[in-house]
């Protein structure tokens, strides 16, 4: 049985704000489908069962973009992965480079090796002879961001096509061939409006291609495409695959994706929407909740109602809630007004985001009365409301 969890690597999608739903959730499954819906979704029912039937795999991949990002370099390489009942996220090894890969060979000239092991993640660049290591508990899987689109997450999830089965309408797009595999292709429109085109193997019912349709920050059409070749669902994998022994003389760096609990929160002063300076130092004695966000970031928007609810639950002198706007191209004040968000807004927070080691948004911190980090979460966790309120309640009860 595979874990029903969104793979940590998908956090990379939150950074660019492109994809908010990638399969494997319960959304839309409350109602029983009628016979017509079952018939239309039969391809994904079979794909769901086929993708759950194995716990390890290896494949060759190609990742590229279309539309406004069509000039972005293609990523090619090899991926090996495994997940068991005891694992929250899969073990992965990804070897990749940019640009073309010959069709008759899986050997590649490596430019980057990325590994997600049991306790740590690694990024090794042979050209630079540089190894970066990060603890999984401290967000080390962020090191695999360069290859996030190369992971066919559905190979590592329980109920991997639950969203597709629940979605209507599904539009058949005809036949396709990915590598040497004949596929049936479907356009899926998800409950929140996102769209994807899936190519499913006719004989083995396994996904070989997914094109996620979206727009860039300026609203131009684009898509991100993952193609899978030479899929092996019963590879011989040794433990050594998920470790790395770099050559002698390799430079080693330690990575953390965020400030850890117990460390002192960096001081800052930012302006709110009225031009008033807001200082963290002046808030000492209150619990402070910070949400790093941007108007173009879909996952950020999904957690904002929870931030609003938290801000309404406590007096401002006890719990101060602020959204710190970062990496912005829009009008955050107007966005909050139009959507009914009334908690504090702090502007031009890019430098503060750097101090707080923000590499993806949303990133949320809770700072205790003494100015120490009490909580951190990266990404749009579905349980973020309970996590935030639980931490605040614990801090208040510790008076």
In Å, what is the CA distance from 138 to each residue of 53, 134, 311?
Answer: 31, 7, 27
Give pLDDT tens digits for 252-301. 999 888 898 999 999 999 999 999 999 999 999 999 999 999 999 989 99
Contacts of 373 (CB under 8 A, 6+ apart): 259, 260, 261, 262, 263, 264, 265, 365, 366, 367
Count CB atoms within 10 A of the CB of residue 174.
8
- Reported as a single tens digit per residue, the pLDDT across 192-211 is 788 999 999 999 999 999 99
Select from 1.10.2020.10, 2.50.20.10, 3.20.20.70, 3.40.50.10070 the CATH code of 8-255: 2.50.20.10
Question: Is the distance from CB of 376 to CB of 298 less than 8 angstroms?
Answer: no
DSSP 3-state assignment of 252? strand
Residue 9: what pLDDT? Answer: 32
Mean pLDDT value across residues 303-327: 96
User: Would you state the pLDDT for residue 101?
Assistant: 39
Predicted local distance difference test score (pLDDT) of residue 399: 63
57 annotated active-site: no
Q: Which of residues 126 and 80 earns the better pLDDT score? A: 80
Q: What does pLDDT average to over the chain?
A: 86
Output the CA–CA distances (angstroms, integers) from residue 96 to 79, 100, 209, 258, in the order listed. 8, 11, 18, 26
Residue among 293, 209, 259, 246 nearest 375 (CA): 259
350-372 pLDDT tens trace: 999 999 999 889 999 999 999 99
Instruction: Tell me the two tokens of residue 191.
Output: 């409950």
Q: Which of 22, 57, 183, 300 is catalytic?
A: 300
Cα gap 29→165, rounded to integer Å: 9
**Residues 66-88, mean pLDDT to the nearest whole number:** 89
| Cis peptide bond upstream of 381, omega within 30 | no
What burial class does residue 25 get, using C-beta atoms within 10 Å of its C-beta: 0-12 exposed, 13-18 middle, 19+ buried?
middle
Look-up: residue for tokens 């279309």? 66
Per-residue pLDDT for 32 more than 50?
A: no
Is position 297 annotated as part of the catalytic site?
A: yes
Q: Is the pLDDT of residue 313 over 60?
A: yes
CA distance 52 to 50: 5
Q: Is the confidence at residue 349, as pLDDT, over 90?
A: yes
pLDDT at residue 17 tops 50? no
Burial class (CB within 10 angstroms; exposed 0-12, middle 13-18, buried 19+) of 97: middle
Under a CB-based contact definition with an 8 Å cutoff, are residues 350 and 289 in contact? no
Per-residue pLDDT, 7: 34
Quick count: other Cβ atoms within 10 Å of Cβ 68? 16
Closest CA to 16 of 189, 148, 112, 197: 148
List the chain domain ranges: 8-255, 269-397
Q: In what order do the strands lie in the sheet with 344-346?
A: 344-346, 319-325, 287-293, 363-367, 373-378
pLDDT at residue 317 in the model: 87
Q: What is the pLDDT of residues 151-194, one digit of tens each?
A: 999 999 999 999 999 887 789 999 999 999 999 999 999 877 88
Phi and psi torsions of 282, nearest 5°: -75, -15
Instruction: Tell me what percent of the residues of the chain surpass a pLDDT of 90.
Output: 67
Residues 264 and 372 sit within 8 Å (Cβ to Cβ): yes
Is the pLDDT at 12 greater than 70? The verdict is no
CB 7 within 8 A of CB 153: yes
Region 57-66: what's the mean pLDDT?
96
What is the number of H-type helices and E-type strands within the chain? 8, 19
Task: Using the predicted structure, report yes or no on whether residue 53 has a pLDDT greater than 90.
Answer: yes
Q: Which tokens is 181 given? A: 């595999």
- Which one of 22, 57, 183, 297 is the catalytic residue? 297
- Long-range contact list for 181-186, CB < 8 A, 24+ apart? 181/208, 183/208, 183/209, 184/43, 185/209, 186/43, 186/44
CA distance 149 to 228: 11
- Whether the pLDDT of residue 347 is over 80: the answer is yes
Distance CA 147, CA 192 (A): 25
Answer yes or no: CATH 3.40.30.10 is held by domain 269-397. Answer: yes
pLDDT value, residue 30 = 31
**Strand positions, DSSP E, 33-141:** 56-67, 75-82, 91-98, 112-116, 120-125, 130-135
């Amino acid at each position: 049985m595979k874990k029903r969890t969104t793979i940590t690597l998908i956090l990379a999608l939150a950074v660019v704000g492109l994809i908010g739903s990638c399969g494997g959730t319960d959304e839309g499954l409350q109602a029983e489908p009628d016979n017509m819906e079952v018939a239309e979704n039969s391809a994904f029912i079979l794909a769901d069962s086929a993708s759950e039937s194995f716990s390890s795999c290896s494949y060759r991949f190609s990742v590229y973009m279309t539309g406004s990002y069509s000039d972005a370099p293609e990523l090619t390489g090899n991926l090996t992965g495994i997940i068991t009942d005891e694992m929250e996220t899969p073990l992965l090894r990804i070897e990749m480079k940019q640009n073309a890969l010959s069709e008759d060979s899986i050997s590649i000239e490596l430019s980057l090796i990325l590994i997600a092991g049991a306790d740590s993640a690694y990024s090794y660049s042979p050209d630079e002879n540089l190894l970066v290591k990060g603890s999984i508990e401290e967000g080390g899987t962020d090191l695999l961001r360069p290859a996030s689109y190369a992971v066919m997450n559905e190979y590592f999830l329980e109920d991997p096509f639950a969203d597709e089965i629940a979605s209507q309408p599904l539009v058949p797009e005809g036949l396709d061939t990915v590598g040497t595999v004949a596929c049936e292709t479907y356009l899926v429109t998800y409950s929140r409006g996102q769209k994807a085109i899936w190519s499913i193997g006719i004989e083995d019912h396994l996904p070989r291609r997914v094109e996620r349709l979206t727009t860039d920050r300026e609203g131009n059409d684009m898509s991100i495409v993952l193609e899978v070749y030479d899929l092996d669902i019963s590879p011989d994998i040794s433990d050594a695959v998920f470790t790395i022994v770099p050559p002698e003389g390799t430079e080693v760096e330690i990575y953390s994706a965020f400030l850890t609990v117990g460390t002192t929160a960096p001081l800052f002063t930012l302006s709110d929407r009225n031009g008033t300076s807001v200082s963290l130092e002046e808030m000492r004695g209150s619990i402070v909740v910070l949400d790093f966000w941007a108007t173009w970031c879909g996952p950020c928007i999904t957690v904002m109602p929870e931030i609003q609810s938290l801000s309404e639950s406590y007096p401002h002198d006890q719990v101060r809630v602020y959204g710190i706007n970062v990496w912005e191209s829009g009008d955050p004040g107007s966005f909050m007004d139009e959507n009914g968000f009334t908690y504090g807004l702090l502007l031009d927070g890019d430098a503060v985001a750097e101090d707080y080691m923000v590499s993806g948004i949303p990133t949320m911190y809770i700072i205790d009365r003494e100015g120490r980090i009490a909580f951190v979460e990266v990404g749009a966790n579905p349980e973020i409301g309970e996590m935030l309120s639980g931490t605040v309640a614990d801090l208040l009860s510790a008076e």
